[in-house]
């Protein structure tokens, strides 16, 4: 499904070059769930952005089903939950979820129904017409999870999707993501600091010193 090989990424800070990823390899099969842990600053979000094709590695290659991930394939087959959500402030919760569908065409009644159902599944049935600034941090995070699932993606990349949630709500969101994975064969890469969530994933990896330990 997804194969990354030899990923290297460094950032220039003043005249110093900081190496964040020093040669990361990762293969994820369809339907597989992989959890990535690692200290703050170890490069987890950097790696997810490379896997999503939102940023280019200095060296190395990311392939989806053997070829490059174009923007169109990303819109169709990738669901991404960003660490800082990236909801559109002017759009209410339902419209934010529908934005994913809008990338593929004009959403109709079926898409609106699916968006509403996904919001209900993350516990936001009563919040569909709230704007992001009228939602709590954890509620925004759950809108971002619903948006990531909107297009029934083949791959979900989720960057600490439960970072702002209480234990019970966080467990429910992770169970939803893992359930979607099992039911639909979607592959999941989950970044988390939560050991219990990591234990539920099929495989757990630890990023340290720019590589998987
Ligand atoms: N655009 C950038 N320019 C310069 N340095 C960057 C940039 N993006 C990230 N970094 C640096 O790269 C390192 C890894 O950042 P990254 O966000 O990938 O860490 P992380 O593992 O996701 O951390 P956290 O658990 O806190 O989210 C950090 O030290 C950060 O300062
Ligand atoms: Mg991060």
CATH of the domain at 83: 3.40.50.300
- Would you give per-residue pLDDT tens digits along the chain (213 residues)? 899 999 999 999 899 999 999 999 999 999 999 999 999 999 999 999 999 999 999 999 999 888 887 888 888 899 999 999 999 999 999 999 999 999 899 999 999 999 999 999 999 999 999 999 999 999 999 999 999 999 999 999 999 999 989 999 999 999 999 999 889 999 999 999 999 999 999 999 999 999 998
| Closest residue to atom 25 of ligand 1, CA basis | 40
Which ligand 1 atom is at minimum distance from the Cα of 207? Answer: 21
The parent domain of residue 164 ranges over: 2-212
- Alpha-carbon gap, residue 187 to 178, rounded angstroms: 9
- Cβ of 43 below 6 Å from ligand 1: yes
Q: Which residues contact 117 (CB under 8 A, 6 or more apart)?
A: none
Q: Following DSSP, what letter does each residue of 145-211 receive, concatenated?
A: HHHHHTT--SEEEEESTTTTS-HHHHHHHHHHHHHHHHHH--EEEEE-S-HHHHHHSSEEEEEETTE
Q: Give the residue among 100, 104, 105 at the shortest CA–CA distance from 115.
A: 100
CA of residue 107 to ligand 1 center, whole Å:
35
State the pairing for strand pair 78-81/155-159: parallel
- Cβ of 83 below 6 Å from ligand 1: yes
- Cβ of 141 below 6 Å from ligand 1: no
Q: Tens digit of pLDDT for each residue in 119-151?
A: 999 999 999 999 999 999 999 999 999 999 999
End-to-end CA distance of the chain: 23
Instruction: Mark the residues whose beta carbon lies below 5 A from ion ligand 2.
Output: 44-45, 83
Encoding tokens for residue 173? 């969101």
Tally of domains in the chain: 1
Q: Which of 44, 80, 189, 191 to probe ligand 1 with, by most ligand atoms within 8 A of CB? A: 44
């Amino acid at each position: 499904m997804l194969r990354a090989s030899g990923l290297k990424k460094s950032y220039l800070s003043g005249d110093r070059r900081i190496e964040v990823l020093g040669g990361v390899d990762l293969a994820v099969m369809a339907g597989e769930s992989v959890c990535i842990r690692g200290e703050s600053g170890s490069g987890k979000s950097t790696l997810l952005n490379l896997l999503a094709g939102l940023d280019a590695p200095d060296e190395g290659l990311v392939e989806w089903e053997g070829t490059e991930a174009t923007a169109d394939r990303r819109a169709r087959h990738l669901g991404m939950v960003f660490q800082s959500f990236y909801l559109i402030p002017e759009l209410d919760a339902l419209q934010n979820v529908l934005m994913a569908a809008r990338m593929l065409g004009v959403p109709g009644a079926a898409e609106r129904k699916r968006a509403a159902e996904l919001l209900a599944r993350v516990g936001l049935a009563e919040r569909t017409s709230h704007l992001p600034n009228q939602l709590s941090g954890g509620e925004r995070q759950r809108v971002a999870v619903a948006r990531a699932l909107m297009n029934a993606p083949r791959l979900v990349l989720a960057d600490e999707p439960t970072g702002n949630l209480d234990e019970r709500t966080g467990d429910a969101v992770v169970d939803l993501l893992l359930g979607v994975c099992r039911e639909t064969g979607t592959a999941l890469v989950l970044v988390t600091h939560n050991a219990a969530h990591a234990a539920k994933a099929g495989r757990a990896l630890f990023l340290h010193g720019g590589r998987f330990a």
